[in-house]
Structure 1
């Protein structure tokens, strides 16, 4: 009987069974009659053979040669190695450890490989599934042989799934349990009594290879759906499971199990002859299986365990091993993960078309088949209705009318119908016809109607993408299909992110997300051109992965694509502008001081019109929401609302800078009204403490709370007063600290908060006229939620007090916590970068610091700024996955902007050096290896 490893070259270099048998036989010669078998020497011989065999297989896989990076060869070779070891072990147990001069018929024992091992596809460290077949009731000798083998296999460090059953029991269990039935479907004779295995095969065929297989197919589909749900129900997760994840190896196995069960095939290529797969689809099947198997082998070897998760720390290493090198504008690891997702998409296409076709073919009972053929199919705009699925009326429909490809999806969208799998396959086979449609006015009209439809455009775009039509019709979109970014910020591939963003836009417009985004849900209906907004959302990331600024490159794509899709010159220019500046609003809101009039004036000068402001707001919200499940929060929403309101005021003819003294006087008047228990003297004394910028930096209610805090501390002569307020609406905890202003105060406070597990997202620092500091921090926990809980807040206050009294060694505390930081964060390197802008504010120098985010990063940066004798007025902290972008508004010791060129250069080099030093302490091993 042919074995899956028959074509492995130089098999005997992996393991020599004859030599191993002879060595074991010599051990048996010293056994006294009826004595205990020599377990330790037997184990030593088998372990040496296993170790040497695995090393040889790995050498072939990793070193240059014909089998380098050949995953299927590793699976076959590992199966061969285990076969030989298990066979010699079986023979030793049967002939030497527990011999029988005349074994009875009841003592027959057959050994069967099941599951993946039965397929002959055993990953380096995967479990081994064995079935010990006996004729009927187990005999004491049979039990001894099975027990002897299993204990030795376990002692070898192997994970063995096993069962000891009769043929009848095996079939009975398979009838009840689909998992057992699937395992037997892939059963392979391994050793021992061959007649028992043949009997099992015959019994299985007679019992299960009958009928239409509906129960097996339904069970496997339900099992698949549960697995997908458990693994995240998306093939675009950032750390996919190569075996169990959606679009992974298990989905390929599922397809083959069903095919084998229904069509009696032994390999995917045979499905072509059966008419189940086309030759090209079979090639796709084999390529995907080879790719995933190879990746899985690398994971096992690199982790030294049966792990199937393609984690961040493995992606870069495996990409390099597979020959993916960095290119201009494209990192090797990103091209590797792109190929991973493309293969996963192919698997999804194959299983969806294949399984859905099987479901459909079995939907009608045979008795009704003839009757169905006599019924005239319902028609819908030139297509045939088959149940709730839309199908073509004839196989040559698309050849006669290529526009019908897009019309099919349009009709399905408008009538809330699915598309028949056979028709999807027909589209795949005729996908080149889409090339002719790019300049067809009708095709472009249909596409824009689908994009801007009020009937779930997200689902339609995803169908177009899954079918390969989207990327063919818009080649620029095709370039970002499965395009990944190797970081912890972007959860999805670029195409999936874009389609999700369209879905969010549709839900905002329909009112489904009105509670989450009340401002966007309001302004979206004031936008003059829906096509402009939808196309801008579609194209905002269209140029990622090309090198250069994707916003600039994307604007060029928009200028070319807009006229083709029927937009006017003015509309096209607006789309291009939105794509060019789609990051401007979030960058300003999250990284600039929104209470500084210059910030608003600069942003308003960029926007220029209320219509653009509305468009950019909605685009920004959709973009952020579609990045990942935990990226959007109320704090970001509040900042965007604040920026929108202030900019709208300027664009509507208002002013933010005029009447500064009058504005302060008005603010103080409003505060005075809310301090009823204060004397006029107390009020005047407090108003004299704050400089002009302070009164313009907070809302009235915050200024009132701070006034109460300051007066209470002054009356009680407290050296330190701390107040916190949980702001659920903005998903932050506001912490206000009143204490003596000292050099390096911000750095010590930032360190105390880092040690306490608090993440600072914004801060405003003020020195009052009495020499006291009034500092306000907005903090969250590490999950982006308000930092709350009485114990945590009390611990934070205690550490702040210790830090301010110099009784807390911040650096030592941070170093002691290093072991608890997420290890996968260390996979990424973010080159420190310091950008200095003297134009962003009229009164401050703005310093933007980029680096790898981790606890203590803000402390390190602010300590460096303090040592440079800079005064920090405000800090705005933003994180994008592993990247921190911290912006500081600073002045020199004399309260002026920093303008000296040498000083500016010193700031950059000093802060960057401090970050690099912290990076080395954070992960010294990784840094030493660079």
Structure 2
């Protein structure tokens, strides 16, 4: 019986300790060589294969030693990435052990003798143990294992068994292929969905993300499974795929070296190290990182396109009769394409017909048509007007931009083949552009197209769909979204710069003055609505009045609502929460009422009617006099902020309240919790409640603090239980109530409580500590001074800030909280003695806040 690569027989008697030392020395040398190659920017396939071959030698000797444990024929294989010799510094090694007969105790001893020394060498080992008979039919219960078998590489064992296993798998290949294909496609789709199906991540996963190394492997496997039978790789040469893989490998090798472990996310911090290692030049770090990420996106896009082509070739749709659907257009199984390629190449002005026909049927554009356009654009430097030389052509572009299912997908195809940038050259400046703000998740151009996708999704939204359908010219919304962030490519306020850059597009399309004003307005003010909704007290009439004064028409208000909704939703999958959507909706409704129903100052005139309605509908357990006493001195906005049921609950909470006592009510509404605390007013009350919420890890979304003339304080907080404290702890509500009562009553010092908590919490730090910004706004509110604070987010931040405010004898009436990545933006509506702050008050408070924020957390 032939034995594969066993090494010298005398190696079987070597002392285990001596063997381990020799293996360690060999492995250390191989790892140093891989690290050195990586530091030179050469940690690609050659260096990785050399690393794998060192491990091969160790495993072969271990198999030779362990072979004495059993007489059963056996073979050991490398599988997965190790099977492909893509062995990164801290990657797992995956092994398959196959026995020619039944597995008993001797075979189990062999496996232990093989694996234990590998574990001693600190390898992470994934292993499968099978009998040869298991390979007659595919194991469909474990799709990951099924796919790993596609990269079998024999390391050691009986040659006869290896040959028989190879024969078994070839004989059963027809049965294996459909199952492998199904497993590959299913796992690929699941993996892509974790990244919102886009490769344009600002911190991409170079192993698992769309367009990353797993997609390179998936592309090659699909080719082996039949993905090239119908020319599925046209436009994606093997050399291009190989070059992209080499680049991705070198990046991933660097991540392992820098992190000292199996890390595959190219984070902001590691991007800066990668540009040094890969020798990217540039005037500053930002430009160098942008150059790196541009190359990454281009290579990932090449991989994605190749994968898409071979996937469609490997799993073709049902045959469709070829249909002519317009001038030089036909609908084939692959999608919409040109009937006469030569005629199409000579008529770039007609290319938009292809995409209009595609979006109107919600069918993709065929690969050959996209490849033709890409080739022609690379050969010719067309001016934008070439694509819309007549009024009919310009109207066709506007018609194409009307929101429909599939519009963003067609725009993505246009982007990838170069046509979108040819028609709208300003968009080329944001192609693959990164924004390193710890807030956005995608490149600027991908964020833009995702925002357009969000417009499509509003079509069936029961709340926003009717508004979108009321818009007379919704194509202007799409054009504004395409240009809303182009200004990020240049210096200055990107809203203003973007509006100026859009003028070229407006002129080329010869839009009328009304359309120009609409697009200009939406781009210039595209941040306005979110800033007011998330950072200002939109329940205050003056805020709503000033916001409503921006708009000359109701149409502009509706358009800005939709643009804001789609823009915020495209920042990351988690940015547009139900809470934020509700805040935008409320601001829209209030502004609409302000414009159409005289909402604003009239609210004050309706106060008596509101009180009368409150009294008329009060429950029997609340006497009229008790209601009147409770309301006396509370701000009139209280009647607008809270429902009748909430106000009646507040009245009941205020009963029989004594000094150093608090009555509170906690309720949950989907992802938002609301805490109402009623007590006799005293210093630091608001701050102490903030401290308790911080202690339990709650993210405060909004806070109201109202005080009556009788000294009764009503504090209402809306917060999110981000860490799931209540869900994870059956007694969580009771513990929360007890802590809150102890702090408000003065039995527990909240500062000491928070200190013990913070000492045990591992907080996230930004790469560069942010200089805090403290800003006072006296224009937006007639009654309050608005304090806006921007600082590094940290546990207990709101408590520390509100405590400084209380130290100055200043009252907090409302807090709006927003977090953008690692940046906290907290907005306080404050007064002293019922009036706005003086300039001296502001200066003193600002100095103490900045001192607290720049110093260590107490």
Structure 2 residue 855 is matched with structure 1 residue 911:
no
Q: Which residue of structure 2 lines up, in the alignment, with residue 897 of structure 1?
A: 836
Of the three residues 38, 43, 52, the one matched with 2:15 is: 38
Q: Contact 1:46–1:85 at 8 Å: present in 2 too?
A: yes
Match of 2:583 in 1: 639
Change (3 A) 1:904 1:225: closer
- Pairing partner for 1:393 from 328, 339, 343: 339
Q: Look up the match of 1:56.
A: 33
CA deviation after TM superposition for structure 1 residue 170, in Å: 8.8
Contact 1:382 1:393 in 2 (8 A): yes
- How big is the shift at 1:418? 2.9
CA distance in 2, matches of 1:79, 1:88: 15
- Residue correspondence of structure 1 range 567-606 to structure 2 within 5 A: 567-606=511-550
For the residues of structure 2 that align with 1:505 and 1:326, how far apart are their CA atoms?
Answer: 37
Task: Decide whether aligned partners of structure 1 residues 759 and 121 sit closer, same or farther in structure 2, where only a CA change above 3 A counts.
Answer: closer
Please give the per-residue CA displacement for 1:579-632, whole angstroms capped at 9, x wherever unaligned.
111111121122112243332332233334333222212222222333334333
Matched, 1:738 2:682: no
In the alignment, which residue of structure 2 is the partner of 1:288? Answer: 244
1:732 touches 1:785 (CA, 8 Å); kept in 2?
Answer: no
Q: Among residues 43, 52, 55, which one is paired with 1:70 in the alignment?
A: 43
155-164 or 906-915, which moves further after superposition? 155-164
Q: In the alignment, is residue 781 of structure 1 matched against residue 710 of structure 2?
A: no
Distance 2:658 2:124 in 1: 69
Give how far 1:348 is off.
Answer: 0.9
Q: 1:93 to 1:235 in 2, by over 3 A?
A: same
- In the alignment of these two chains, the number of paired residues is 848
**Deviation digits for residues 798-831 of structure 1, max 9, x if unmatched?**
3232222333232333343347757556667543
Out of 666, 671, 695, which is 1:755 matched to? 695
Q: Cα deviation per residue 1:644-682 (whole Å; 9 max; x = unaligned)?
A: 34333443473633695x444344333332347566655
Return closer, same or farther for 1:627/1:722 CA change in 2, 3 Å cut-off.
farther
Residue 356 in structure 1 maps to residue 333 in structure 2:
no
Helix, strand or coil at the partner of 1:630: coil
- Name the CA distance, whole Å, in 2 between partners of 1:474 and 1:378: 29
Q: Deviations over 1:688-712 (max 9, x none)?
A: x315xx0134328547744664576
Q: In the TM superposition, what is the alpha-carbon distance from 1:858 to its structure 2 partner?
A: 0.6
User: Once the two structures are superposed, what CA deviation does each residue of 1:146-181 show, in whole Å capped at 9, x if it has no partner?
Assistant: 764444333322344567889x76974679899778
**Would the alpha carbon gap of residues 219 and 381 (structure 1) be closer, same or farther in structure 2, given more than 3 Å must change?**
farther
Q: Which runs of 5+ in 2 are unaligned?
A: none
1:320/1:669 CA distance change after superposition, 3 Å? farther
**1:81: which partner in 2?**
54
Match of 1:420?
366
Alignment of 1:238-277 (within 5 A): 240-260=204-224, 277=233
Question: Could you tell me how far apart the structure 2 residues matched to 1:686 and 1:98 are?
Answer: 86
**1:329 touches 1:548 (CA, 8 Å); kept in 2?**
no
Of the candidates 384, 397, 413, which is equivalent to residue 463 of structure 1? Answer: 413
Distance 1:453 1:216 in 2: 38
Taking a change above 3 Å as real, the CA distance of residues 790 and 764 of structure 1, as seen in their structure-2 partners, is farther
> 1:539 touches 1:558 (CA, 8 Å); kept in 2?
yes
Offset, 1:400 = 1.9
Contact 1:748–1:803, Cα closer than 8 Å, also in 2: yes
* 1:658–1:785 CA distance, 2 compared to 1 (3 A): farther
Equivalent position of 1:690 in the other structure: 633
Residue 157 of structure 1 is matched in structure 2 by: 122
Tell me how far 1:347 sits from its aligned partner: 1.1
Distance in 1, matches of 2:101 and 2:210, equals 41
Whether 1:405 aligns to 2:351 is yes
Whole-Å Cα distance in 2 between the matches of residues 145 and 705 of structure 1?
A: 71
Q: Name the CA distance, whole Å, in 2 between partners of 1:521 and 1:133.
A: 59
CA distance in 2, matches of 1:636, 1:577: 23
Distance 1:215 1:363 in 2: 19
SS in 1 for 2:789: strand
Residues 392-541 of structure 1 aligned to structure 2 (within 5 Å)? 392-432=338-378, 436=382, 438-439=384-385, 440-441=387-388, 444-486=394-436, 489-508=439-458, 510=459, 512-514=460-462, 518=463, 520-541=464-485
Q: What is the CA deviation profile of residues 35-72 of structure 1, one whole-angstrom value per residue up to 9, with x for unaligned ones?
A: xx51122112211221233123213322xxxx435332
Match of 1:720? 661
1:865 to 790, 795, 805: 805
1:741 Cα offset (Å):
2.1
Tell me if structure 1 keeps the 8 A contact 2:41–2:277: no
Q: Classify 1:377/1:771 alpha carbon distance in 2 versus 1 (closer, same or farther; 3 Å).
A: closer
Matching residue of 1:813: 753
Maintained 8 Å contact 2:77/2:152? yes
**Partners in 1 of 2:764 and 2:272 — Cα distance?**
12
Give me the TM-score of the superposition, normalised by structure 1.
0.79
Q: 1:499 to 1:189 in 2, by over 3 A?
A: same
Distance 1:114 1:840, change over 3 A: closer
1:301 aligns with 2:257: yes
Instruction: Give the conservation status (yes or no) of the 8 Å contact 2:792–2:824.
Output: yes
Contact 1:399 1:433 in 2 (8 A): no
Distance 1:598 1:676 in 2: 33
Report the more deviating stretch, 580-589 or 673-682: 673-682
Q: Report the secondary structure of 2:430's partner residue.
A: coil
User: Aligned to 2:804, what secondary structure does the other structure show?
Assistant: helix
Q: Per the alignment, do residues 618 and 712 of structure 1 end up closer, same or farther by CA in structure 2, a change over 3 Å counting?
A: closer
Do the aligned partners of residues 115 and 840 (structure 1) sit closer, same or farther apart at CA in structure 2, a change above 3 Å counting?
closer
**Distance in 2 between residues matched to 1:792 and 1:211, nearest whole Å:** 54
Unpaired runs of at least 5, structure 1: 1-16, 32-36, 100-105, 264-270, 365-371, 922-930
Q: So what's the TM-score if we normalise by structure 2?
A: 0.85
Q: CA deviation at 1:81?
A: 2.1
What is the SS of the residue equivalent to 1:543? helix
Q: Distance in 1 between matches of 2:363 and 2:159?
A: 53
Query: 2: distance between equivalents of 1:767 and 1:535?
Result: 48
Deviations 1:61-115 (A, max 9, x none): 22xxxx4353324312212322343455566778xx899xxxxxx9998765444
Task: Report 1:796-807 matches (<5 A).
Answer: 796-807=736-747
Q: Distance in 2 between matches of 1:383 and 1:807?
A: 79
Distance verdict in 2 for CA 1:592–1:276, change over 3 Å: closer
1:373-416, CA deviations, whole angstroms, 9 ceiling, x for partnerless residues? xx986554422332362232234243222234322121112223
**Structure 1 SS opposite 2:348:** coil
- Measure how far apart 1:350 and its partner are: 1.0
Higher alpha-carbon deviation: 401-410 or 552-561: 401-410
Query: What is the CA–CA distance in structure 2 between the aligned matches of 1:620 and 1:840, rounded to whole Å?
Result: 21
Deviation, 1:860, is 1.1
Provide the secondary structure at the position in 1 that maps to 2:487: coil
Structure 1 residue 452: deviation in Å?
A: 0.6
Of the structure 1 ranges 747-756 and 717-726, higher mean CA displacement relative to structure 2 is found in 717-726
Quote the RMSD (CA, aligned, Å): 4.4
CA contact (8 A) 2:83 2:152 kept: yes
SS in structure 2 at match of 1:699: helix
